[in-house]
Amino acid sequence: MAAVAQTDYAQLGNDLEREELENGATPGSIRLYCQLLAVYLLQNDMCNAKLLWKRIPPTVKQTSPELTNIWVVGQKMWLRDYAGIYEALQKEWSEEVKMIMGAVQESVRERALRLVRLAYSSISTDDLAQFLGVSGEKAVQVAQREGWQVDEQSRIITPKKIEPVPAPAILSEQHLSVLTDYVTFMEN
């Protein structure tokens, strides 16, 4: 597989998983592991990222500083250390993972913005800047673009609340079926 020129990362992830399985007991290429780990981070699939890291042979890990750098991003994501994530993302990436890691950065920013929308009634400019990995001025610009209230004097931002999407209602027959399955499982 050549350098990543596509933006269908889900399909890329499937192709890389298939390639890893086809290798069997033979270790895959550094490119395979770097791209697959980066795709897992992009998908915020930390469980698969962690399992991949554990099954990568130590010799491959030792010969690829880039693979180690990608894993550092994953560790910071696992800890939800936003400042650490953005710092770890400031590496020079090879052409094979550059686009994916750029997408990881944007994905982390979007998740952080969604978190602020849902969880905060107000947040300081500095805290928002840290969540987004940008300067305070840029954080204010993002807040204004979102239509949030910005108090320049106190440097407090008030996000517009969005209503969480309600869980779909389960029809009574479906509900009874789910409950029956649950009780049956508990009895076994």
Global pTM?
0.78
What's the mean pLDDT in 93-103?
A: 95
Q: How far apart are the C-alpha atoms of 134 and 86, rounded to whole Å?
A: 9
pLDDT value for 180: 82
Token output for 55: 């099954």
**Hey, what domains does the chain have and what are their CATH numbers?**
9-105 (no CATH), 120-165 (1.10.10.10)
Q: Does the pLDDT at position 179 exceed 90? A: no
Give residue 23's pLDDT band: very low, low, confident or very high (50, 70, 90): confident
Digit-coded pLDDT (tens) for 126-168: 999 999 999 999 999 999 999 999 998 999 999 987 776 777 7
pLDDT at 164: 66
Q: Report the chain's mean pLDDT, rounded to a whole number.
A: 88
To 10 degrees, what angle do helices 46-55 and 30-42 make?
Answer: 160
pLDDT at 183: 81
Quick check: 79 pLDDT over 80?
A: yes
Beta bridge partners of 123: 157
- Sign of the CA dihedral running 101, 106, 107, 112: positive
